[in-house]
């Protein structure tokens, strides 16, 4: 059975797809720590991030860099945090989100967010990526 993330990518479950280049995709998390909190996920359903091939790992981190720079432009923050946990869904993924303090790297601060607010955030991120001329940005 496909992971929850794959089901979102395929449109079988609702979600806010921000990026899909055929090798990895990004979605907004359903319980963000801060606005703009997204997850970057390989298409390949690998449980442990360190089991990804070196080529896929390099690709994922290159995309993470692009997304991080976009988040920093859109959401006032000191840094973009990056975390790899992988306990909640057994499909390797990176969490990227705006942070202002080390205490922001705390999943206990994650909160449900209204879907209309999530849609506005997703639209904002996709528009910023499209303005950069990036072609891996799916339509709404």
Residue 16 falls in the annotated catalytic set: no
Q: Domain for residue 37, yes or no? A: yes
Look over the chain and give the mean of its residue pLDDT values, rounded to a whole number: 95
Q: Domain for residue 139, yes or no? A: no
Is the pLDDT confidence value at 4 over 80?
yes
Band of residue 86 on the pLDDT scale cut at 50, 70, 90: confident
Report the CATH number at residue 45. 3.30.428.10
Report the predicted TM-score, pTM, of the whole model to 2 decimal places. 0.95
Q: Domain for residue 140, yes or no? A: no
Q: From the candidates 16, 37, 91, 93, which is the catalytic residue?
A: 93
Query: In the chain, pLDDT over 90 holds for what percent of residues?
Result: 91
For the chain, how many structural domains are there in total?
A: 1
Domain ranges, residue 87: 4-130
User: Cβ neighbours of residue 98 under 8 Å, at least 6 residues apart?
Assistant: 34, 35, 36, 37, 71, 72, 75, 76, 77, 79, 80, 81
Give 112-132 pLDDT, tens digit per residue.
999 999 999 999 999 999 999
Mean pLDDT of 51-56: 97
Is the pLDDT confidence value at 96 over 90?
yes
Is the pLDDT confidence value at 101 over 90?
yes
Q: Domain for residue 135, yes or no? A: no
């Amino acid at each position: 059975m496909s992971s929850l993330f794959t089901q979102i990518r395929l449109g079988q479950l609702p979600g806010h797809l921000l990026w899909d280049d055929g090798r990895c995709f990004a979605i907004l998390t359903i319980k963000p720590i801060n606005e703009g909190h997204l997850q970057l996920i390989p298409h390949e359903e690998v449980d442990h991030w360190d089991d990804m091939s070196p080529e896929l790992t390099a690709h994922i981190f290159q995309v993470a860099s692009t997304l991080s720079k976009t988040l920093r432009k859109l959401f006032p923050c000191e840094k973009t945090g990056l975390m790899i946990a992988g306990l909640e869904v057994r499909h390797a993924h990176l969490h990227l989100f705006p942070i202002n303090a080390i205490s922001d790297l705390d999943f206990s601060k994650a909160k449900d967010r209204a879907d209309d607010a999530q849609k506005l955030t997703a639209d904002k991120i996709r528009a910023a990526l499209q303005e950069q001329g990036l072609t891996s940005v799916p339509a709404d």
